[in-house]
Chains A and B, each alone.
Chain A
């Protein structure tokens, strides 16, 4: 019972801090189509896992991995192409 009472406060606290951080991030105004690959790489990978270093895989491997991530993370074609271009360039 005590745990349940604490849980309500925990959830309220989590959403309060989330709201604060959302307000901070609202300053960003770039539409996805205009963003460079480096930005898209940073924004999309980190939604689920740490962003990998471009040196982690070869250019050919990146093509397969980004196609895999396009399907898994429902990225658009434009985002995928820019991310793979960035990874190859920075590799």
Chain B
């Protein structure tokens, strides 16, 4: 609570400073969301989150950005630093970024996850916390965009702390999840750094389509542990197509992303029967989403509606104690109050597939109705 009050005081001071003239520019933006979630046996209003974003522009070349996340969870307010980094424009086509930043591993984590941008109240399977692939990390990045005739491309290369390995030996971490990667590490657990990047191509002259390829390679284990040389190759492919479609009097938006994590094989300690075991440690998740907004019809109510459908799937490795095979369909209707404020109503059905998760029977389906409201500012 003291932390929250201190942060609110600092924010207040900065807001006051915003009105002063000068070369430096300071801006608070961000978003918030909350909602009502109805499942088979329970329903609850959920607190959602409040995410202030702080922007300091020191010059035409220098920008600092930071995002905090205040989230209500289990009756407590949790505070997290989503990112905090400095960007320096090197030249027309290159920017250097230092600090903690959203990783360009596909596009969902970096561009699409905020509640006022994500078209559905929930995230695709495998794209939230404990998902397949990283969302943010500490390090250094070179990024930019280039024209290619009528087309364009963008790129990013980075070096970060990288993921570490849950080796199943630390009682403070869930031991039954041995072999799973742990992301967003405040300190590196070894001397190795993760190296990764993304290349995006926008082949059409109106920039309506983008295809991106991402990769990351990192060693995972603690120094001088038996897992020291264990490595992981992470990859992602993303697709986006957004365009006005005249015969539909509206805009269609197609998004998709495939994430994969391949970890070298290793033996792990089984906490359930004290034996050693191994498995092919490959995980994958993907989603495909289509939305349509009749933005160019004459009726003022219908032009602010949006219809969304999404399919997502998640596979954790067979043989692991955390093996899982899940699929989910989500369908929604959104009403845009303005360009950054939306009410989202959705129905989603999730299938645990051949392997049940904790508390679920194998093959069990879970239906949910979600009503969320999101506010960008």
Contacts and interface: CB of A to CB of B under 8 A. Distances in A.
Contacts, number: 140
B344 to A, nearest CB: 14
B111 A73 contact: yes
B117 A48 contact: yes
A7 B289 CA distance: 12
Contacts of A50: 336, 339-340
Contacts of A79: 145
B206 interface: yes
Contacts of A61: 25, 27
Contact of B25 (A29, A30, A63, A77): A63
B340 A49 contact: yes
Contacts of A77: 89, 92-93
A71 interface: yes
B269 interface: no
Given A3-B329, A3-B351, A32-B147, A64 B55 contact: yes
Interface residues of B, number: 61
A7 B245 contact: no
Given A3-B327, A46-B251, A28 B204 contact: yes
Given A7-B327, A17-B290, A25 B154 contact: no
A65 B55 CA distance: 8
A37 to B, nearest CB: 14
A73 to B, nearest CB: 7
Nearest to B207: A43
Contact of B156 (A4, A24, A56, A74): A74
B111 A48 contact: yes
Given A47-B240, A48-B111, A74 B288 contact: no
A43 B208 contact: yes
A91 B156 CA distance: 33
A74 B89 CA distance: 11
Query: Closest 10 interchain pairs by CB?
Result: A74-B154, A74-B145, A50-B339, A77-B92, A28-B206, A64-B57, A71-B87, A43-B207, A49-B117, A48-B111
16 contacts: A10-B288, A22-B243, A28-B204, A32-B207, A47-B207, A49-B339, A53-B339, A56-B339, A61-B27, A65-B27, A68-B65, A71-B65, A74-B154, A76-B147, A77-B93, A78-B92
